[in-house]
Amino acid sequence: MKRLYSRLKMDDDTQNVDMTPLIDMVFILLIFFIVTSVFAKDKGMDIERPSQQSAGKVAKENIMIALTEEGKLRADGRDISFNSLRSYVAKKITSKEQAVVIMADIDADVGDLADIMDECRLAGAKKISLATETE
Protein backbone atom coordinates (compact mmCIF):
# COMPACT_ATOMS: atom_id res chain seq x y z
CA MET A 1 0.00 0.00 0.00
CA LYS A 2 2.78 2.34 0.87
CA ARG A 3 4.41 1.60 -2.42
CA LEU A 4 1.24 2.44 -4.33
CA TYR A 5 0.84 5.70 -2.43
CA SER A 6 4.44 6.72 -3.11
CA ARG A 7 3.98 5.95 -6.83
CA LEU A 8 0.82 8.10 -6.99
CA LYS A 9 2.51 10.93 -5.14
CA MET A 10 5.51 10.81 -7.46
CA ASP A 11 3.24 10.92 -10.53
CA ASP A 12 1.47 14.03 -9.19
CA ASP A 13 4.74 15.88 -8.77
CA THR A 14 5.91 15.15 -12.28
CA GLN A 15 2.69 16.09 -14.10
CA ASN A 16 2.88 19.30 -16.12
CA VAL A 17 0.38 21.12 -18.27
CA ASP A 18 1.34 21.00 -21.95
CA MET A 19 1.08 24.55 -23.39
CA THR A 20 1.74 23.56 -27.01
CA PRO A 21 -1.94 23.20 -28.06
CA LEU A 22 -2.76 26.55 -26.48
CA ILE A 23 0.08 28.29 -28.31
CA ASP A 24 -1.01 26.62 -31.56
CA MET A 25 -4.56 27.91 -31.12
CA VAL A 26 -3.32 31.45 -30.42
CA PHE A 27 -1.26 31.44 -33.62
CA ILE A 28 -4.17 30.06 -35.64
CA LEU A 29 -6.44 32.82 -34.30
CA LEU A 30 -3.79 35.44 -35.03
CA ILE A 31 -3.45 34.23 -38.62
CA PHE A 32 -7.25 34.18 -38.99
CA PHE A 33 -7.61 37.80 -37.86
CA ILE A 34 -4.75 39.00 -40.04
CA VAL A 35 -6.13 37.28 -43.13
CA THR A 36 -9.73 38.44 -42.62
CA SER A 37 -8.97 42.02 -41.63
CA VAL A 38 -9.96 44.83 -43.96
CA PHE A 39 -7.44 47.58 -44.56
CA ALA A 40 -8.63 51.12 -45.16
CA LYS A 41 -8.37 52.35 -48.71
CA ASP A 42 -8.31 55.86 -50.02
CA LYS A 43 -11.81 57.26 -49.58
CA GLY A 44 -12.56 58.20 -53.11
CA MET A 45 -13.54 56.65 -56.36
CA ASP A 46 -11.52 54.36 -58.54
CA ILE A 47 -10.26 56.82 -61.13
CA GLU A 48 -7.33 56.83 -63.49
CA ARG A 49 -5.65 60.22 -63.23
CA PRO A 50 -3.65 61.74 -66.07
CA SER A 51 0.11 61.74 -65.64
CA GLN A 52 2.33 64.80 -65.62
CA GLN A 53 6.05 65.34 -65.06
CA SER A 54 5.66 68.49 -62.95
CA ALA A 55 3.13 67.06 -60.48
CA GLY A 56 3.67 68.14 -56.87
CA LYS A 57 2.46 67.15 -53.40
CA VAL A 58 -0.97 68.15 -52.06
CA ALA A 59 -1.64 69.34 -48.50
CA LYS A 60 -4.13 67.31 -46.47
CA GLU A 61 -6.23 70.32 -45.51
CA ASN A 62 -7.23 70.89 -49.12
CA ILE A 63 -10.75 70.09 -50.31
CA MET A 64 -10.65 66.93 -52.43
CA ILE A 65 -13.33 66.31 -55.09
CA ALA A 66 -13.34 63.22 -57.33
CA LEU A 67 -14.90 63.09 -60.80
CA THR A 68 -15.42 59.68 -62.42
CA GLU A 69 -15.54 58.71 -66.05
CA GLU A 70 -19.36 58.53 -65.80
CA GLY A 71 -19.56 62.10 -64.42
CA LYS A 72 -20.27 61.23 -60.76
CA LEU A 73 -18.89 63.47 -58.02
CA ARG A 74 -17.58 62.26 -54.66
CA ALA A 75 -16.22 64.19 -51.68
CA ASP A 76 -15.52 63.11 -48.08
CA GLY A 77 -16.42 59.52 -48.91
CA ARG A 78 -19.94 60.28 -50.12
CA ASP A 79 -21.58 61.11 -53.44
CA ILE A 80 -22.58 64.71 -54.08
CA SER A 81 -24.47 66.31 -56.95
CA PHE A 82 -23.45 69.21 -59.16
CA ASN A 83 -26.29 71.25 -57.60
CA SER A 84 -24.91 70.89 -54.07
CA LEU A 85 -21.24 71.31 -55.02
CA ARG A 86 -21.17 75.09 -54.53
CA SER A 87 -22.65 74.93 -51.02
CA TYR A 88 -20.35 72.02 -50.10
CA VAL A 89 -17.22 73.94 -51.14
CA ALA A 90 -18.44 77.13 -49.45
CA LYS A 91 -18.89 75.24 -46.15
CA LYS A 92 -15.46 73.58 -46.38
CA ILE A 93 -13.39 76.69 -47.18
CA THR A 94 -11.82 78.01 -43.99
CA SER A 95 -9.14 80.32 -45.41
CA LYS A 96 -8.18 82.04 -48.65
CA GLU A 97 -5.08 79.85 -48.92
CA GLN A 98 -7.10 76.61 -48.91
CA ALA A 99 -7.17 74.95 -52.31
CA VAL A 100 -9.70 72.74 -54.04
CA VAL A 101 -8.10 69.71 -55.68
CA ILE A 102 -10.10 67.94 -58.38
CA MET A 103 -9.19 64.29 -59.01
CA ALA A 104 -10.69 63.71 -62.44
CA ASP A 105 -10.54 60.47 -64.37
CA ILE A 106 -8.49 60.64 -67.55
CA ASP A 107 -11.65 59.81 -69.57
CA ALA A 108 -13.92 62.30 -67.74
CA ASP A 109 -15.82 64.89 -69.75
CA VAL A 110 -13.98 68.20 -70.01
CA GLY A 111 -17.30 70.05 -69.81
CA ASP A 112 -18.01 68.46 -66.41
CA LEU A 113 -14.53 69.45 -65.25
CA ALA A 114 -15.13 73.05 -66.36
CA ASP A 115 -18.49 73.08 -64.53
CA ILE A 116 -16.84 71.84 -61.33
CA MET A 117 -14.13 74.52 -61.54
CA ASP A 118 -16.76 77.19 -62.17
CA GLU A 119 -18.87 76.09 -59.17
CA CYS A 120 -15.77 76.10 -56.95
CA ARG A 121 -14.88 79.64 -58.01
CA LEU A 122 -18.44 80.81 -57.38
CA ALA A 123 -18.23 79.23 -53.91
CA GLY A 124 -15.21 81.39 -53.09
CA ALA A 125 -12.26 79.11 -53.84
CA LYS A 126 -9.23 81.07 -55.05
CA LYS A 127 -6.95 78.09 -55.72
CA ILE A 128 -8.22 75.20 -57.84
CA SER A 129 -5.91 72.39 -58.92
CA LEU A 130 -6.18 69.22 -60.97
CA ALA A 131 -4.67 66.10 -59.38
CA THR A 132 -2.31 64.09 -61.60
CA GLU A 133 0.13 61.23 -61.16
CA THR A 134 3.87 61.61 -61.57
CA GLU A 135 5.47 59.68 -64.40
Tell me, yes or no, whether 87 and 26 share the same domain: no
Tell me, yes or no, whether 25 and 78 share the same domain: no
Q: How far apart are the first and last CA of the chain?
A: 88
Label residue 105 by pLDDT band (50, 70, 90).
Answer: confident
Tell me, yes or no, whether 103 and 128 share the same domain: yes
Stretch 15-36: mean pLDDT, rounded?
90
Comparison of pLDDT for 107 and 57, the residue scoring more: 107
Tell me, yes or no, whether 125 and 63 share the same domain: yes
| Residue 58 belongs to domain spanning | 51-134
Domain count, the chain: 2
Tell me, yes or no, whether 32 and 78 share the same domain: no
CATH code of 106's domain: 3.30.420
Comparison of pLDDT for 46 and 105, the residue scoring more: 105
Whether residue 57 is predicted with pLDDT greater than 70 in this model: the reply is no
For residue 82, is it within any domain? yes
Tell me, yes or no, whether 8 and 61 share the same domain: no
Pairing of strands 51-52, 133-134: parallel
So what's the pLDDT on residue 61? 76
Tell me, yes or no, whether 62 and 115 share the same domain: yes
- pTM beyond 0.85: the answer is no
pLDDT averaged over every residue in the chain: 78
d(CA 75, CA 58): 16
